[in-house]
Amino acid sequence: MTKHDSVSRRIFYVCNVIFFLLLIAVVLFPYLNILAKALNDGKDTAMGGITIFPRRPTFENFTTVLGDKSFGRAFLTSACIVVAGTLLNLLVQFMAAYVFMNKQFIGHKVLLYLFMVPMYFGGGLIPQYILYSKLGLLNNYLVYVLPGCFSVYNMIIIRSYLNSIPASLAESARVDGANDLRIAFRIILPLAKPVLATVALWVAVALWNDWLTTLYFVTKKEMFTLQYVLMQVLKEAEKIQAIIKEAAMRGEVVNIKSNITTESVKSAQLIVTTVPIIIMYPFLQKYFIQGITLGAVKD
Amino acid sequence: MGKVRKENGKDSAAFRRAVWRKLKRDRYLYLMLLPAALVTIVFAYIPMGGLIMAFQDFDIFKGFLHSPWVGLKNFSNIFTQAKFLKSVWNTLMCGVLCLLICFPAPIILALLINELKDGIFKKFSQTISYLPHFLSMISVVGLVYMLFGRDGFVNDVYLALGGAERVTFLARQELFIWFVIGVVFWKETGWGTVIHLANLSSISPELYEAASIDGATRLQKMRFITLPHMKPTVIILLIFQMGTIFNSNFELIYGLQNPYVDFEVISTIVYQTGIKGGNYSMSTALGFAQGLVALVLVLGSNGLAKKMTGNGIL
């Protein structure tokens, strides 16, 4: 804003700032509200009226959540999936990107089409389900990492970055007698670290946030992921409410107090589930934006 | 490739030798491509073969070879059975409302962010507006449950404003679709601005200066410089969005569904009748039809975009 701005311009600017203050409030409030509930005494939360400050502060809800064995197991499962899945993903993606950086080999076009078609059309959930059951992937940890370990989009992003590496580096290594495996892993890989870090974060966030794989393909309790456990807890409360409603229609009274304490515990569970994302957020934001701009300039 | 073809004219044995030499030279390339190719063939192409279930009365014990064929019966069921037709309609409703509300929102927000002065406040606003994109859909659904629940903040406000009693908003049939749209709006609008902002920052400031010298007002500058610059990106994004108009958001809708509300979309029906109900053929047919429509929409809108701007995405 400069001195020359007109009055209407100044009014617009002030309104705009107010608008963004509101926007910040609308985005942050739900999360801070849940955080306050998670830090508040369960019985007290049930009386309503919690804003962004706990009324009767306690860590009890968090100790309940973190002390729960199945929750701890789910946390561990999710963490392992993220680590193993991200590494596998990067390996498969990087190798494919390296290959497609080279446009000289026989079958280059056909293979690229082979990878592109599934972006636009697929068999859908049920054929997938039947295939997985035949392959023994149902209730198998591999289902979390194997089917999703290649993404054409990520491969193209990595490739477009590799294309910016001077070709002379690979050429001189080839003259020295290095084969493609050696060139890819010894020379190109170290130079591709920035783009690999970006893709790694995308994959890690997607894996951490995934709960559909569990819903579709896993029924064993000990294999549940953290997000799936959260979903179950949220849905559980809905089911209890339905039971209460049905009981009320029959004229019975159910003790509502017994499930209301879970509201604070649920909040604590939601906070714990999202905390890795919140902690990583400054990195995530930076790398995700880099990825978007990489994607925008591709080709 | 060109060199190989030339040799082909001379002598087919020499051609074969040349091809063989190339294949041998590039053996490590094929080796490195193998994992990606295997995963794609097994997990993307083999399920496509499974689509023949849609034309059968599939029985998992009889398999694809011995299940009876039923022609297009499963597809005609989509149009004759009320619950399927309803799910198609709901899917379309969600898609169209999202297109109308959630698609333009990031464009407008990006223009508004662009009007903020560079500095901490602008950075902070952007950072905060991107945050919901990174939360899992189910935790956002959790936020909705707790915010709009009986003891939630929205009810507190409702009572304070003179509401008679606490209301379970999520149990209201007529509000359900607005919760769906609202979550998408809340979660993705901020993040959607990233691409538009990157685009806006590439406009040369000289254009604006020249326009100012010619006496253009701010609105005129927006009309004749900013918006035309944004147009190609907007059209490409619109194509993507058109292609997804039939991809109902399963995570969100399944998450929000509760015993009081009857709102099914194609993907939730596919899950319920297929995996839960075991009617594989029917839900495959529904999924297949959805996939085909999505394909036609992507190809169609891409063709349209090519005509309008001279470049598409395919």
Partners of A57 in beta bridges: A40
Is pLDDT of A212 > 90? Answer: yes
Q: Is B275 on the interface with A (CB under 8 A)?
A: yes
Contacts of A277 in chain B (CB under 8 A): 134-136
Report d(CA A274, CA A263) in Å as an integer.
17
Partners of B69 in beta bridges: B56
Average pLDDT over residues A12-34: 93
Give the closest of B125, B142, B255 to A24, CB-based: B125
Q: Who wins on pLDDT, B150 or B181?
A: B181
B250 within 8 A of A213, measured Cβ to Cβ: no
Average pLDDT over residues B77-89: 87
Confidence of residue A242 (pLDDT cuts 50, 70, 90): low
Is pLDDT of A259 > 50? Answer: no
Average pLDDT over residues A185-197: 90
What interface predicted TM-score (ipTM) does this complex get? 0.85
Task: Say whether B28 and A91 touch across the interface (CB within 8 A).
Answer: no
Q: Which residue has the tokens 């927006």?
A: B222
* Pick from B169, B173, B172, B175: nearest CA to B156: B169
How many A-B residue pairs are in contact by the CB < 8 A criterion? Answer: 267
Residue of chain B nearest A233, judged by CA positions: B142
Distance (Å) from the C-alpha of residue B35 to the closest C-alpha of chain A?
A: 6
Q: What angle do CA A238, A241, A243 make, to 5 degrees?
A: 115
Task: Say whether A270 and B143 touch across the interface (CB within 8 A).
Answer: yes
Provide the Cα torsion B149, B153, B158, B161; round to 10°: 170
Among B4, B29, B170, B189, pick the best mutation site for testing chain A contact (most A Cβ within 10 A): B29
Residue of chain B nearest A266, judged by CA positions: B142
Q: Which of A259-268, B159-168, B290-299 has the lowest mean pLDDT?
A: A259-268
Helix axes B176-200, A7-38, angle to 10 degrees: 130
Report d(CA B175, CA B167) in Å as an integer.
12
Chain B, 44 to 73: residues with Cβ < 8 Å from chain A are: 44-51, 53, 60
Contacts of B221 in chain A (CB under 8 A): none
Three-class DSSP category at A57: strand
Contacts of B218 in chain A (CB under 8 A): 9
Task: Say whether A121 and B37 touch across the interface (CB within 8 A).
Answer: no
Average pLDDT over residues B237-254: 83
- pTM of the predicted model, to two decimals? 0.86
Is pLDDT of A274 > 60? Answer: yes
Average pLDDT over residues B117-132: 90
Among A21, A40, A126, pick the best mutation site for testing chain B contact (most B Cβ within 10 A): A126
Phi, psi of B239 (to 5 degrees): -60, -45
Partners of A40 in beta bridges: A57
CATH 1.10.3720.10 fits B73-309, yes or no: yes
Confidence of residue B74 (pLDDT cuts 50, 70, 90): confident
Among B5, B116, B138, pick the best mutation site for testing chain A contact (most A Cβ within 10 A): B138
> How do residues B264-311 score in pLDDT, each as one tens digit?
999 999 898 888 888 888 889 988 998 888 888 888 877 877 777 666
Is pLDDT of B208 > 60? Answer: yes
> How do residues A42-88 score in pLDDT, each as one tens digit?
777 777 778 888 888 888 888 888 888 888 899 999 999 999 999 99
Average pLDDT over residues A116-123: 86
Three-class DSSP category at A276: helix
Q: Which residue has the tokens 């400050």?
A: A53
Give the closest of B29, B132, B250 to A27, CB-based: B132
pLDDT of residue B205: 86
Phi, psi of A124 (to 5 degrees): 90, 175
> What does R_g of chain B's alpha carbons equal in angstroms?
27
Task: Say whether A227 and B139 touch across the interface (CB within 8 A).
Answer: yes
Chain B, 164 to 203: residues with Cβ < 8 Å from chain A are: 166, 168, 186, 190, 194-195, 198-199
Give the closest of A31, A48, A105 to B26, CB-based: A105
A293 within 8 A of B199, measured Cβ to Cβ: no
> What does R_g of chain A's alpha carbons equal in angstroms?
26
Judging by beta carbons within 10 Å of its beta carbon (0-12, 13-18, 19+), is residue A181 exposed, middle or buried?
A: middle
Average pLDDT over residues A180-188: 90
- Where do the domains of chain A lie, and which CATH numbers do they carry? 60-297 (1.10.3720.10)
Report d(CA A167, CA A103) in Å as an integer.
12
Q: Which of A25-34, A72-81, A160-169, A219-228 has the lowest mean pLDDT?
A: A160-169
Is pLDDT of B6 > 60? Answer: no
B147 within 8 A of A30, measured Cβ to Cβ: yes
Q: What angle do CA B103, A30, B122 make, to 5 degrees?
A: 60
**Which two three-digit tokens encode residue B297?**
């929409």
Is pLDDT of A298 > 50? Answer: no
Contacts of B147 in chain A (CB under 8 A): 30, 33-34
Report d(CA B262, CA B248) in Å as an integer.
15
Q: Where are the domains of chain B?
A: 2-55, 73-309
Average pLDDT over residues A230-255: 74
DSSP H helices, chain B, are 2-10, 12-25, 27-40, 46-49, 63-66, 73-80, 82-101, 104-115, 120-134, 137-148, 153-160, 176-200, 205-213, 218-221, 227-243, 250-256, 266-269, 280-309
Give the closest of A115, A230, A288 to B138, CB-based: A230
pLDDT of residue B2: 47
Residue of chain A nearest B313, judged by CA positions: A299
Task: Say whether A126 and B152 touch across the interface (CB within 8 A).
Answer: no
pLDDT of residue A207: 94
Is pLDDT of B185 > 60? Answer: yes
Contacts of A34 in chain B (CB under 8 A): 142-143, 146-147
